[in-house]
Amino acid sequence: DIKACIFDLDGVIVDTAVYHYKAWKRLANELGFDFTEEQNEQLKGVSRVRSLQLILGWGGVTKTEAEQTELATRKNDWYVDMINQMTPAEILPGALDFLEACRAAGLKTALGSASKNSMTILNKVGIAHLFDTIVDGNHVSAPKPDPEVFLKGAEALGVSPTECVVFEDAIAGVQAAKNGGMKAVGIGSPETLSQADLVVSGLDKMTIEKLKEL
Ligand code: G16
Ligand code: MG
């Protein structure tokens, strides 16, 4: 029986990818190069440090660890300025309704995100109270596809992994759910997220009935 739903943040609840992209692009431009929107796809669900390393690689730029820390902080400062302007209007279609439906159905809810800024975002869009527990980049050491972030969520909720459904837009996130022995609902295209148990285009296409059929 399904007892809990664990939600990724970027790409599932809100589209913060556009802000990450703007901030990373600004940083790359300051370093004298650019990267494409297609390359940006590879940064979704990926941690801040790993994203920076990928971008520096695309630009053929080498930086010391201290320089990398400074660059990541610079990008994050711009990113935080943008997410501080977020409003409830930026919640993705169906996300609020589905979160409320889960809770009304007696299911537990958790956030499982790679972001260290998840609390700021949830507070800005006004939905922090809809999560029983929040596990994010501040609490985990192993990045997705390691299941750590979702296993910690299940543990905090007091449910077993097999009783959890994870909602994810990134391939590595779907893999993390499967690696943790959980059900995975992919948010996006079935071709990309073929390892998911079910793929929908957004939470507006998700229902409690579909959840129970998993
Ligand atoms: C999100 C984004 C990634 C970002 C990561 C870390 O993941 O998709 O692009 O690099 O968080 O974010 P921050 O720099 O705020 O710590 P998720 O797991 O919410 O999809
Ligand atoms: Mg995501």
Above 90 in pLDDT, residue 45?
no
Asked if residues 41 and 147 have their Cβ atoms less than 8 Å apart, the reply is no
The tens digit of pLDDT for each residue in 137-170 reads 999 999 999 999 999 999 999 999 999 999 999 9
Q: Report the catalytic residues.
A: 8, 10
> In which element (H, E) is residue 26 found?
helix 17-30
Q: In the structure encoding, which two tokens stand for residue 146, read together?
A: 């390691």
Q: Which of 8, 18, 19, 20 to mutate to test the pocket of ligand 1 (most atoms within 8 A of CB)?
A: 20
The tens digit of pLDDT for each residue in 6-26 reads 999 999 999 999 999 999 999
In the structure, what pLDDT confidence band is assigned to residue 199 with cuts at 50, 70 and 90?
very high
ipTM here: 0.94
Q: Which of 16, 22, 74 to mutate to test the pocket of ligand 1 (most atoms within 8 A of CB)?
A: 16
**In whole angstroms, how far apart are CA 28 and each of 18, 36, 43, 142, 188?**
15, 11, 14, 26, 27
CA 137 to chain centre: 10
Answer positive or negative: Cα dihedral of 124, 130, 133, 134: negative
The tens digit of pLDDT for each residue in 69-85 reads 999 999 999 999 999 99
Classify residue 168 by its DSSP letter: E
Q: What is the pTM of this model?
A: 0.95
